[in-house]
Every structure is written in structure tokens, then in C-alpha cells.
Structure 1
Amino acid sequence: MSSRPHPNYRPDIDGLRALAVLPVLLYHAHVPGFSGGFIGVDIFFVISGYLITGIIAREIDAGDFSILKFYERRARRILPALFAVIAFVLIGASWLYLPGDFEGVPRSALAALGFLANVWLFMEAGYFQAAAETMPLLHTWSLGVEEQFYIIFPVILIVIAGIAPRWRLRAVIALTIGSFIWAVAKQADTDSFAFYLLPPRAWELLIGSLLALGVAPVIKNRWINEVLCGGALIAIIGATIFYSKDTIFPGLTALPPVLGAAILIHCARGTVTGRLLSMRGPVAIGLISYSLYLWHWPLIVFTQYAQDAPLSGWQPAAVIAASLVAAWASWRFIERPFRNPASFGRKRVFQWSAAGMGALSLAAVLMIMQGGWTSRFPAETVRFAAAVNDISPVRDACITNQIGGDRPQCTLGADAQPQAVIWGDSHGVELAWELGQQYSKDGRSIAQRTRASCAPAIGYDDVRDPDCLTFNQAVWAELADSPSIQTVYLAAFWARDNYRDADAGKLMDDTIGQLQSLGKSVVLIGPVPPQTSSVPRRLALHGANAQTASRSTFKAQTDWFTQHFAKWRSEGVRIIEPANMLFTGNNSIIVADGQPLYFDSHHLSLAGARRVLAEGTAD
């Protein structure tokens, strides 16, 4: 394969690829200062839209566009390294993953092979949820968005060229605006629709497409270009530094990195910024950026899984170095040969692509048929790992997880009008089930009103979940209109930073007072000591002597809340403190009588809920 660059080659765009992939890598490796590194994916979208649309438009205008040739290029570019990573992930997970974690891996592999990973992840989990730590193919969602775009967009351009070629630019502008409006409308939703799916993401690719179609005039004034490119670089760096997992994204917040990337593509040539991007180091990283993006995440996930802890100390540097080595090898020995028409003709490209797709799909299906593949592990390991399923049988049915979701009307216990209610976030779910079991013994029932990540406090507002406020207002109205409900249990993840930052202690003080003014008895279930990783996994990997969180750490996390307990007790509130049942000395207890007390890192399992409620029985 010739090393001579194409006459239209732009090294600054390879440098921009480096500016996209490095923040993603450093963010995932938990390197301080890169909390917004996820915006690198948005930069990739703009670059892709610009380069690919330019090729499609030129070939359509020349009457030389072929869908077959287009997908041959995509196959050469995308499939070889992707196949290698998927094979590595399937083998690695088969060796390393516990049954409950393993089951999703072959399913995610099938989704990635079909370029539907974004759809699968939208249906399964959120990007920043804890489950992400066990998903080695999570990052392939972006390939799904891109390939879905390139299934639809070339057809749109062909149709426009056939019926209204003069309207091409205006049509793409309309599509861009429509997609952006959709993204902004969905940006605050907690269902991840705006993050994962094509309609609200397409505008980022279309911004690049508009550049390729000539929407922006050439700027001839050097100093204007210098200022624009300097500002664009600052916008991208600023988003990388100051954004975080708590930033509402994408939507309006995606504008700085997206427009910054577009400005650099349009104006960087001949500028100081362009020369920086064209330096040997950034260009070298840009050349291997696709393989680096593919390889880094599985390496990070497997490393963290094997040690059952996030990267720390020297480990981020080691994993970054390993990712760079794997990316270079993947680019040199997998990507480059497959892109060379002299080595792989069109027929061979499609044959190898079909063979790779078929072999990996078959392997994934066979693994799915194995379920958790429990035969790989000793019985005790399997038993500990199975605690991820020790949850309320009605967990999914009786909790609201997303914006706009219906408020479940769940009553647990006997077939009777509820005399109590448990009001809380997801920490109340297993407690509600166990309270229901207690109430049923006396022919009584308890209502469950729970919403994920929503503190049971009047006035609590979460910018990422605007429906939390209305949910709590609805629960309050229901309580005010239900004299038969005499007891209100309040339960939440009180160790959560968001609650502390919102001064939930003060809000709870007011809420308790208002509940008592209605004549309700209030039972507050205090904070559950959070662990640093999934308890079933930790026990399965390390046994009953696994390290646990300390009382001193727990105290530092929850003092802001527990400092109110003396006052609330003096006002007649009964307080159940999980810490009394979940600590021995300075160490927390995560297993009792052979049963894990958590089903993840901070939610009590049913066994844990029974233990905590042993401190205080139902009224």
C-alpha cells in the first residue's frame, strides 16, 4: 500500500481525530481534568459527516455514485478492526465474567455486529449507569448511530439529486434543524433517547455534511480564521474540562464541541491551530484513532472487572499505553491491509466480511444459549453471583424510572386498603416488598410509591429529572387525601451527592413536619452504607472475606443527613438505621448467613432488607 498521501489529504483533520479520541480515552481511564471527555464522540460525528458526505456528493454530481462501492469502502474501513475487538471481547468475557454479567456480552456482540448497539443500549441501560462498568462493547453505540445514518443519508441525497438537485443544501439544512430541535426537546429526558438514538444525534453528522456541501463561504481573512480556530479549540477544551456525567447532554450543551469541530474543519488550514493539529504526534494518533477508540474501552472494562475496582495510581497510564499499542497493531496489521485493493479486491472484501459476520454471530448465539454458563465456576461463586437477582419480584413494575413514566399504583401485602406507604427512591423498593410481607401476616397492606433517583422530599428538584418534583407533589396530594394511611416510611439513597448538594436534609425537615401535620406517623429509614463495587461480584470473586466499606467513610458521606436524627427523634419520628445492622466495628457487613446483603454496590437485596427491618418491625 503506497504511503504517498492523497493530494487532498489534510493532516489537520487527522489531528482533529486525535483531539476527539484522546479525551474519550482519558475520560474512560478516570484521568483527572477530562470529566467531559465523552464529547470526543461528537467531534468524530462531525468529521465523519464532512468526509463521507463530501465523497458521496462528489460522486453523485459526477454520476459515478454506487451504493455497492460505498458499502465496500465502509466495510474496508469499519469491519476488520471491529471483528477483532468483538472476538477479543467474547473470548475475554468467557474467561473472566461471572454468570450474571456474562449473559449480556454475547447479546451486545450481536447488536454491535448488526450496528444496532445504540438501540440495544437504549433499551437496556444508560451510558453513565453502573452497568456500564461491565459492558465491554458499550462504546459501539456510536458505530450504530453512524451506520444507521449512512444507510439512510445516501438514499436521501440520491433522491434529491433525481428530483430537486437545487434543493439539496436547503433540504439538508432542514434535516439538521429538525434533528437539533428534537435533540433539545429530549435533552433532559432520563430515558437516554437523545443520547443513543439517531434522530436526535443526526444533526451532529449533518453539521459536517453541510460543510461538505458548501454551506459556509471560504473566509479569506487570516486573522478571522485565527480567532475562530482559537475560539473553537477553547470551546472543545472547555467542554472536555468542565462537562461531567451530570451535564445534561447532548442537546444545547453539544453545540460547543460540535461547532468547534466544524470551525476547525472549515478554517484551520494555514492557522496556528491548524499547524498544531498537523504536527506529527496528533496526526499519528489520528491515524490510529478508530482502532484506539475500539480497543481502549474493553481493555479498561476487563482490567477493572478483574481487580473489582476502578483504575487508580499507575493503572490509567498502563492501560492507556496498552491501548495505544493495541491500536497501532490493529491499524498496522488489520486496518491497513484490508483497505488495500491490491490485497483485498471487492469480492474478497464482501466474502471476508460475510464470513466474519457469520462466524462471530454464530459464536454469540451459542454463548447466549449457554445462559450465564455457570459450569465455569464453583457452586459458591455461582451462589454469590446470583444475588444480583435477590430483588423485589415487582421491582420493575412498581418503580418509575424515566421521565414521563406512569406513576405505578402498587399495593403490597394483603388484599386490603393500605394503612401505610413507603415513599422513596429506588432504595425503597426491596424494603417495600419486605414490609409488604410483614403487613400481610396481619391481613394488612402497604402502598409503594418510588421513583428512581428522586428523594422523597417536598420541593426536591432534579435538573436531570423534571418529573421528580411533580411525582413528589402527586404522592403528597395522595397522602393528604388518604386518611386511612396512618404511617409513612421514607427511604432513599441518603449517601448520594445530589441529595447533599440539594440540601435534602432541610427539605426532609419540612416534609416530616408537613406529614405530621396531616396526623401521619413518620418512620425514616436512614442511609445504607454504599460499597465501592457490586457486592455479589465482589463476594463471588473474593469470597466472604472480601474487603468492605469502612464506618469512617460512611460517616463522612452521610453526616450531613444523620446530624438531623436527634431533632427528628425528639419530634416523634421513628428512625431505622441500617448502619446498626450493617456494621461490625469499623467494617461494614455485606454477607450474613451466607446471603449477600446487597444486589449491587448500594441497593439492599431482599436478604439485606430483612436484616435492616429486623431493627424495627412494621407498625
Structure 2
Amino acid sequence: MKFRKDINAVRAYAILGVILYHFDFTFVNGGFAGVDVFFVISGFLMASIIMQRLDKGEFNLIDFYLARCRRIIPPLLVLCFVISVFGFFYLSPPDYEQLKRHLVSSIGFYSNYIYWLESGYFSSASKEKWLLHTWSLSVEWQFYIILPLCLVVLYKIFNKKTLLTLSTIFVLIGYVTSIYASSKFPSPNFFFLPTRFWELLIGLCLYFLASEYWKVKNERIECYIFYLGVGLIFITYIAFDSTTPWPGFYTFLPILATCLIILANNQTSSLVNLSPIQFLGKISYSLYLWHWPIAVLMYYLELNTIYFKLLGLLFSVLLGYLSYELVEKKISAILLLTTREVKFIFISVCTTLIIVVYYSDNIILYNEDEISTFNKIESSPERQRCHTGGLEYLDPKLACKFNNQEVQWAVIGDSHGVELSYSLASTLSQVGEGLVQYTFSGCIPSYERKNDFSVCSKWTNQVVKDILGNDSIKNVVVIYRYKSAFNDDKIYANLGKEESENKKMNVSESFYKMVSTISHSGRKVFVISPFPDSKIGVSSRISASNIYGGDYKNISVQKRNDFYLENSDFFDFIYPEISKFDNVKFVDVSDIFCDENVCYAIKSGIPLFFDDDHPSISATDMVADLISKS
């Protein structure tokens, strides 16, 4: 297929959006849509290659797959090799174990499913995954496998007009499916081919339109259409952000924009022919591969000033250029011209690399004390079974009960109460008392909030009702991530938003009502104080300490005064109210996480978190001791 400078240019605009977004430039909060632009381009180019060769009777399925391998795999393998060597020496064992899984899934082109299982693309934990960006390569590769198989069969049965009609129908079905799934199943909707294929398949529609029906030949009109397309892409980058359901209704905007650019086929515009734009377009694949690990490294090392962001951009371009020149161009050319024996050696080397990485273990680099620290980065073993959330939440009547004893204790809160439930249950088992766990992800204090936060409020109301209806429950522990409850715009993807301008007052009133209702029933209430965050995952903090060459037995995260300032809403709105009750005990846990001056992620070799903000079992064991002594 003839090289098109306009498509190369739109690659540049796509990669610009993606890398600016990943380096946290806030004026492009919708830069993730650059991936959608890439999908349309890839779909169009693949459809063009396949259909043109089918028309000539020259299409060979094996040759097509080999060409994709030569294009995609060598740069990806080099990236994976470099990251695996770096990870072996510098990442903590938990981080390295995660990296190994991601390396294998990336090279195997199923990483999109792995990342779906682990967490969402927009979560904070995603910034600690060195190969997260390979999810889009996996989606494309899966599409590359299916598309030619379908076209080879359908080409023999239908004419091009019918193929266009069928493709359009499937595109519309895919688009509608993504809209539905964006609210019902946001994470799989983002990562899965079934809700992404339409963005690639529209490229086939474009091929038929461009080759059979598109008749605009006026250079000025083509130029205007191109400008409109580029403008719509940048509007997408500016207008949307991570709270926008994606892919979903608004995804039509960058898709339409890319379609307009491809149909315009404008080769003369200054926005096409700018040398920097053509340069970025040519290195866009390698730049895409290398920019994300650099962004992750900066996140690990907390290099978040504008100076370091610009430095990260420049370094990404440099590595992208080197990868393009030394790997994309040279290795791909060598593989195209070499004998079967050389290709076999290349495949063998790749396979060996995967096996070596998968079975390597960097725990051998650490001593017993350090290994002990790693082993204490624990979450509750009952988290999966006992914690709930989302629209299909666990009915409070089915909540987990611990110790097979008469339930005398209840824990109510968000996900930050899961580990405390487990630790407190372990403590209570020694005195023969039972505990019931009521925890719901991202559920802010919402007692009797009616429709403002309907699912969460419904669950909370039922929990309080169940507690009041169980005479054996004498003690109730309340724990929330108050900072999020007061300040986060998006607490939980499926739960609706707090619309009131007086959110802080509403949260504090709901909390007060809940505590007051339980307290007036004669039960003792333990309100757990706020505690700091690790900001980034604690295992990643160990990795960062390795990179800096520091000691990670004591890793501080912030000044104690800053911690209090971050949680000032709790002390301003909630603490004054709960202090009025005689049977409400305020449990101050700050000394567990902080000394007089600073707060820690790891303190005296004990990890206080198991990720970036949830307390570890080691930390909640100490909180449970405080409660039992109260």
C-alpha cells in the first residue's frame, strides 16, 4: 500500500495525546482517546492490505501473519528484555513477580485480559504496571488474527457492497454494546476485544467507502475536512477525562474524526507536512512502547514536576527514535531477507527469553530480614469472599461472620475496613467472640441519603437495620477513608455521583446519623481515625528505594502535619460531633503510622500498607490491639 503522509500525521497527533496524558499534562485529560485513533488507523490499513491482495488473488494468510510479526514483535521483545533485566535487579520481589506475569501476557498478546482481572486502566495501581500499555497491542493482535480469516471466507460469498453493509451493521452493534457496557461493566468494556472491535472494523468500512464511493476530489474541501478531523481529535483530548465512560457514547467523536481524515486523503496541508509531525508519526509505535515505562519510572520515583515531565517526554522520544532506527527498520529488514534457519534461531531466542524471565526469581538478591518485610505485605485472605461492591453487591444478610461464635462485634465501612475485620476477628477469637464484616468498595458515609448515592445508601441502610435487629451485637467499629469520602469526585464507577454542592456537610450528617442511631440503641461504637496513604504501592516504594540505593526499613511518605491537613475535613466536621456521645470511642491510630514528625509506608521493617492506601494485616493487627484495649 502506498505510504500516506496524512495517516502518518494523524499517528503523530494520536501519540501526542497518549503520551501527554500519561505524563499527566492536565490540558489533555482525554489524551487516552489517542489509542482509539490508532485503532481506526490500524483497522483501515489492515483492511486495505487484505482487500487489495484478495482483489489481485495474491493474499496469503501465513505471509500476512508473518508481516505483522516482523512489524510488531521485535521492538516489543527488545522492550521486554530491557525491562526484565532492570526489574530483576531493581524491583522488589512482589513487583518483579507481577512484571513477569505481564511480560509473558504482553508477548503472548493476551495482556488486556490480565489487566482486566487485576484492576482498571484509570486506577492508581495502573501506574505501577510497566507494560500496561500493551493491552492495546493485544486487542489489535487479536483483531489481526480474526479479520483475515473472516474476510477470506466472506470475500468468496458476498460482493463489496454487501460486505460494506455487513461491516456497518457490526460496527453499529459494537458501538451500542460499548455504550451499554460502559455503565454496566466498565473494566471489561475498556479492555475486551468484543467492545473494541468496532473501532478497528470501521477501518474496513472506510476502505470500501474510499475505494468505491468517496468522490470528493477538490483539494480545498479535502483540506477543510482534514482540519475538521484534527480539530475534533483535539476537542476530544480537552473535553473528556478519566471519568468519561470509555469506550462509550462519546467515543464516536475521535472515531468520526479519524474517519474524516482518512477519507479526506489530504497530502498537502501544512498540518500534514510539518517535519516534526512526520517524524513523530514514523516513530509512533516505538515511542508508544517506550514512553509508558518511563512514565512508570517517574511515578515510582515521584518525579512529578513540570521539569521532569518535559525531561521524560524528551527521553521517550530519544528511546523511541533509537528503537525505530535500530529495531523496527533494521531487524525487520533482516527478518524479511533471511533464511528459514535464521528465522528459526530468532524464534528460539524469543522463546528462551520468555522461559528464562518467567522462571527467574530475584528473591536471591535479598537477605532474610528483607524477605520478611516482603512477606508482610499482606491483605486479608478473606477479601475476595467477604468484601462487596458495585450494583450486584452481596446482601448484608449474607455478610461474612468470623469465629463461628455468637456475633458480638460488627465492622462497617468501605474497603479500608476489610483487613481490620480480619485482624479484629483474629483477636476476638482468643476470647470466644464473633464478628460480622460489612464492607463495600468506595461506599462513603451515606446513611439515609435516599437517592443521592442510591446503591451505597441502600446497602448502608440495610446494614444498620440488620445491626439494630441483632441483639447479640454489642460493639460496632466504623472505618472509612474519610479523605476520599469528602473530596473525591468519582468514588465508585457504578454508583452514581453526589450532586449536592454541600457534599461535605451531607457526608458528615450521614455519618452522624448512623453513629447516633447505633449509639442510641445502647451499642458501643468505635470510630477509627483517619490514617495516611502510601501514595504509591508499598512494594513499589521498596523498588524506588532500590533504585535510589536507600534503606527501606523506614520509608516515610509525608510529614505528620500534612497528614492532618489532608484529613482536616474529618476533624472539622465529624470529630466534634462524635465526641458528644458517651458510648462512642474515638480510636486514634495515627501513632501506628507516624512518629512525631513523619508518617511511614514501612516503619521499622513493617509494611503498613499492602498497596497504595489500604492498610496491611500487620497494621490492622496493631489497630485491633488498640480496639481490644479500649
What TM-score do you get using the length of structure 2 for normalisation? 0.87
Contact 1:26/1:37, CA 8 A, preserved across alignment: yes
In structure 1, the partner of 2:316 is 323
SS in 1 for 2:507: helix
What is the aligned partner in structure 2 of residue 550 from structure 1? 559
Per the TM alignment, residue 552 of structure 1 is displaced from its structure 2 partner at its CA by 2.8
Q: Which moved more, 1:391-400 or 1:426-435?
A: 391-400
- Do residues 394 (structure 1) and 387 (structure 2) align? no
Amino acid at match of 2:430: K
**Across the two proteins, how many residue pairs are aligned to each other?**
603
Q: Do structure 1's residue 49 and structure 2's residue 43 form an aligned pair?
A: yes
Q: CA deviation at 1:302?
A: 3.6
Q: What's the secondary structure of 2:153's corresponding residue?
A: helix
2:262 aligned with 1:251: no
- Provide runs of 4+ in structure 1 moved above 6 Å: 459-463
- Partner AA of 1:534 in structure 2: G
Report the equivalent of 2:200. Answer: 205
Q: 1:523 to 1:222 in 2, by over 3 A?
A: farther
Write the letter of the residue equivalent to 2:323: S
Secondary structure of the equivalent of 2:141? helix
Paired amino acid for 1:19: Y
Q: Is the 8 Å Cα contact of residues 554 and 605 (structure 2) preserved in structure 1?
A: no
Question: Within the alignment, does 1:182 sit opposite 2:177 as a pair?
Answer: yes
Q: Deviations over 1:143-165 (max 9, x none)?
A: 11001011111111122112233
Partner amino acid, structure 2, of 1:559: S
- Evaluate the alpha carbon distance shift between residue 378 and residue 441 of structure 1 in structure 2; reply closer, same or farther with a 3 A threshold: closer
| Change in CA separation of 1:341 and 1:127 when aligned onto 2, cut-off 3 Å | same
Alignment of 1:132-147 (within 5 A): 132-147=126-141
- The one-letter amino acid paired with 2:506 is K
Q: What are the residue-to-residue correspondences of 1:153-552 with 2, within 5 Å?
A: 153-165=147-159, 166-189=161-184, 192-214=187-209, 217-219=214-216, 225=222, 228-267=225-264, 269=266, 274-305=269-300, 307=301, 309-340=302-333, 344-345=337-338, 347=340, 350-351=343-344, 354-367=347-360, 370=361, 373-389=362-378, 391-400=379-388, 403-404=391-392, 406-407=394-395, 409-458=398-447, 468-479=456-467, 481-496=469-484, 499=487, 501=489, 502=498, 503=503, 506-514=506-514, 516-517=516-517, 519=521, 521-538=524-541, 541=545, 542-552=551-561
Kindly state the Cα deviation for residue 511 of structure 1 after the two structures are TM-superposed: 4.5
Q: Give distance in 2, aligned partners of 1:209 and 1:615.
A: 64
Matched residue, 1:570:
580
1:618 and 1:269 mapped to 2: Cα distance? 75
Task: Give the Cα separation in 2 of the matches to 1:461 and 1:149.
Answer: 45
Pair 1:595-2:603 in alignment: no
Instruction: Give the drift of 1:446.
Output: 1.6
Structure 2 equivalent of residue 610 of structure 1: 621
Correspondence for 1:28:
22
Structure 1, 100-109 or 339-348: larger mean CA deviation: 339-348
Give 1:223 deviation, angstroms. 6.6
Cα distance in structure 2, aligned partners of 1:476 and 1:61: 69
The whole-number CA distance in structure 2 between the counterparts of 1:459 and 1:178 is 40
Query: AA paired with 2:617?
Result: L
Alpha-carbon distance between aligned partners in 1 of 2:69 and 2:354, rounded to the nearest angstrom = 17
Asked if structure 1 preserves the Cα contact closer than 8 Å seen for 2:417 and 2:480, the reply is yes
Matches of 1:459 and 1:29 in 2, distance apart? 41
- Listed one character per residue, the Cα deviations across residues 27-84 of structure 1 (whole Å, up to 9, x for unaligned) are 2223342332221111110110111111112222332221012112211211111111
**Equivalent-residue separation in structure 2 for 1:462 and 1:316 (angstroms):** 42
What SS does the aligned partner of 1:47 have?
helix
**3-state SS of the aligned residue for 1:616?**
helix
CA distance in 1, matches of 2:404, 2:387: 20
- The C-alpha deviation readout for 1:104-154, integer Å capped at 9, x for no partner, is 222211111211111122122322333323321111111110010111111
Q: Note if contact 2:12-2:281 (Cα within 8 Å) is conserved in structure 1.
A: yes
Q: 1:60 to 1:536 in 2, by over 3 A?
A: closer
Tell me if the contact between 1:421 and 1:485 (Cα under 8 Å) persists in the aligned partners.
yes
CA contact (8 A) 2:214 2:263 kept: no
Q: Write the letter of the residue equivalent to 1:277.
A: V
- CA drift of 1:410 comes to 4.2
Distance 1:160 1:419 in 2: 66
* Paired residue secondary structure (1:397): helix
Preserved CA contact (<8 Å) 2:20 2:28 = yes
Shift of 1:374: 1.2
Shift of 1:14: 0.7
Post-superposition Cα deviations, 1:161-186, rounded to whole Å, max 9, x if no partner, equal 12233521121112212211221111
Distance 2:539 2:383 in 1: 18
Residues 178-228 of structure 1, C-alpha deviations (whole Å, 9 max, x = no match): 211221111134661011110001111122221112177444566765554
Percent identity of the aligned residues? 27
Q: Aligned to 2:373, what secondary structure does the other structure show?
A: helix
* 2: CA distance, partners of 1:566 / 1:483: 29
Could you tell me which amino acid in structure 2 is paired with residue 400 of structure 1?
T
SS class of match (2:438): strand
- 2:40/2:199 contact within 8 Å kept: yes
* Superposition TM-score, scaled by structure 1 size: 0.89
Contact 2:199 2:255 in 1 (8 A): yes
Which one is further off, 323-332 or 572-581?
A: 572-581
After TM superposition, list the pairs within 5 Å mapping 1:2-41 onto structure 2: 8-41=2-35
- Which SS does the other structure have where 1:33 is aligned? helix
**Per-residue deviation, 1:524:** 2.3
RMSD between superposed Cα atoms in Å: 3.0
Q: Secondary structure at the match of 2:383?
A: coil
1:57·1:213 contact (CA, 8 Å) conserved in 2? no
Matched, 1:105 2:105: no
Q: Where does residue 64 of structure 1 map in the other structure?
A: 58
Change (3 A) 1:350 1:606: same
Please name the residue that 2:83 is paired with.
89
Q: How far did 1:264 drift?
A: 1.7
